[in-house]
Chain A
Amino acid sequence: MSPKNNFSTYAPRPATLVKKEKLSDLVSLFEFEQDNGKALAHKPGQFIMLSIYGIGEAPFSVSSAPEAGNARFELAVRKTGTVTNALHDLKEGTKVGIRGPYGSYFPVQKFMGKDTLFVAGGLGYIPLRSLLRYQLKHRDEYGRIIVLLGTRNPKERIFVDRLAQLKERTDMEIHETVDVPDKNWKGNVGVITTLFPKVEINPQNTFVAMVGPPIMYRFCIGPCMDKGIPSKHIYVSLERRMKCGLGKCGHCQINGLSACVEGPVFKYDDIAPLSEAI
């Protein structure tokens, strides 16, 4: 195979930061617009590589839903190191570089007509939000929508106002919990698994979309199966160190699979036999 043009595999294209909004102490929402005026054309669960020149490049899940003709998209990013700190310091109007969208995604076609159980731990809500918003936009095409959301403590909750709005809706349900409450917290207390007994589901008709910290998968897949959800209905998203996003650099490997190409969204059955997955 010979590349027909001079388009570099690693060259980002320009996008502009149009809006920034604080979601918690460490997490902010960033709205970008592609300079080429085209929609990102991502699928829920996919990620992009974001470049801040002179600082570096890092992978981030797209948190907004795909929308034809809309050149804007959102990332929600936690401050944790070089690139993420620099991103939080950017002023609106600044140019960045993006590559992608990359990777696998939640099979929205397959979920059609079925119920979806979202299991979100902490920042795992960021990529799941893309799927949730997609389904809400195409509400008629999906069955019940049930969201289980766990956060370490109330201070770390993100999208607080938007979640409050979603809780008002009658066409979906959200069950939220925090591991450690503060004095103002009136909701559930306990790890995310304590939410499972609270929901009634029709297991054969339910698909699961689960994203959270590595440890969460170990504790949440069991309860899903205990409820009778077939393992082939469970989808998870796994994050690894990523440098290329294209299956070349080797950093994101989970046994023989590349989390950037075969993932980040995996069918549970495909990764269950892999010792490095969860």
Chain B
Amino acid sequence: MTAYTVSMEHIPPLLELWAKEYDVHVPVRDVDGFVNFSPWRPSAEIAWDYDVAYNSLKRFFLPPREDLLRFDLAASTAEPVMEAPLQLLFGVHPYDVKAINQLDQLMDQGTADVNYRKRREATVLVALTPEHVSDLAFWSSVGADSVDIGFDMYFTRISPSSFYVEVLSPKGEELLLARGELPRSTLPEREAAKRKKAAIRAKADKNGISFPWKQTPKLMSRHWDSPLWRNKARHCLSCGSCVMVCPTCYCFDVREEADLDLKGGRRFREWDGCMLPSFALVAGDHNFRPEARDRYRHRYFRKGKYIFDKIGELGCVGCGRCVNACTTGIANPMAVFNDLWEADNHES
């Protein structure tokens, strides 16, 4: 991979240039101290040292609500809607890139989801090695501490005033060099970046699942009937927060509404979640997952087994957002996986 060394003062003018063509989003700390990806402005102070962005990035590819069709009621005809603004996401941590890579695979599997694809293809992704690890994160234990695909550029801070920048795509290289040539990184700079990545991984290793993550699907298979599901789900409010904040959850509902003039209308999709009581409800009031326990278990099976069976990775990148989102403190996949693992070891 080609790498360039970029100085800190080079970055604002680059962002300014990129913002002419792209909707550029950068991590920014708000007044309450939460970091979120927000539209870049010349005055924006980038939160270089953030540990986790409050909201995941799936909204840039799968918006909370997205129109799919515009229809004409009188003629009973419909036109597809496919919006895909050019966007550049700057400063995305590897676990979040990993989450997007998963969505890429899942949305492409079988029949490709063209609405998703178009947004994804209109996006430039700039990764960033984290400086800090959230107390709730466990990404290094679920194989999400590094990525080698899915981004266009990958920034690693190697000194207070400089970055080691790997470019993966021609687009990434073109954008990085948009203000002229940059020096290729030297061997010591590459080593510095490596050390930086290793150091942050060592920090992240302090919290994690206590067994090799590839064993999770087998672990799950042994525990369909575990008492854990009922014990934990007793506290579940079925609020769905854990799935809404999750960067890898992509379930949606499809609904529609007529315009006020009743001449036309739109069909749209909206984030939905398997933790919500009506998710598997059908006509005749038959619910295929009637109890909180059924839904709670389904979420972990999806994370720990079903997604793995499809793409060979856990459906959880260990960002810790759900842990933070759950008011009753039961949404932590790491805690659930570890409890199940321990239950096994006590039995044997």
> Which DSSP category, helix, strand, loop or mixed, fits chain B's interface?
mixed
Encode B228-253 as 1/0 by CB contact (under 8 A) with A: 00000000000000000000001111
Binds A, one of B45-53, B199-207, B277-285: B277-285
Q: Are B78 and A96 in contact (CB under 8 A)?
A: no
| A-chain residues with CB within 8 Å of residue B309 when the two chains form the complex | 256
CA distance A77 to B314 in the complex (A): 40
Q: Are A51 and B78 in contact (CB under 8 A)?
A: yes
Q: Are B252 and A249 in contact (CB under 8 A)?
A: yes
| A-chain residues with CB within 8 Å of residue B224 when the two chains form the complex | 275
Q: Are B107 and A251 in contact (CB under 8 A)?
A: no
A80 sits at the interface (CB 8 A): yes
CA distance A240 to B298 in the complex (A): 15
A-B contacts, CB under 8 A, total: 137
Encode A223-262 as 1/0 by CB contact (under 8 A) with B: 0000000000000000111011011111101011000010
- The residue on B at minimum CB distance from A261 is B110
CA distance A243 to B118 in the complex (A): 21
| A-chain residues with CB within 8 Å of residue B272 when the two chains form the complex | 249-251
Taking a contact as CB atoms closer than 8 A, the residue among B252, B274, B286 that contacts A248 in the complex is B252
| B-chain residues with CB within 8 Å of residue A164 when the two chains form the complex | none
Q: Are A8 and B256 in contact (CB under 8 A)?
A: no
**What is the CB-to-nearest-CB distance from A44 to chain B, in angstroms, rounded to a whole number?**
21
CA distance A248 to B75 in the complex (A): 29
Taking a contact as CB atoms closer than 8 A, the residue among B77, B115, B269, B306 that contacts A95 in the complex is B77
B71 sits at the interface (CB 8 A): yes
B73 sits at the interface (CB 8 A): yes
If A14-B77, A250-B272 touch, whether A244 touches B254 (CB-CB below 8 Å) is: yes
| B-chain residues with CB within 8 Å of residue A239 when the two chains form the complex | 282
Taking a contact as CB atoms closer than 8 A, the residue among B79, B114, B250 that contacts A9 in the complex is B114
CA distance A14 to B289 in the complex (A): 35
**What is the CB-to-nearest-CB distance from B252 to chain A, in angstroms, rounded to a whole number?**
5
| A-chain residues with CB within 8 Å of residue B250 when the two chains form the complex | 248, 250
B82 sits at the interface (CB 8 A): yes
Q: Are A249 and B253 in contact (CB under 8 A)?
A: yes
Q: Return 8 A-B CB contacts under 8 Å, by A number.
A: A8-B81, A53-B267, A81-B283, A95-B75, A244-B254, A250-B274, A256-B302, A256-B306
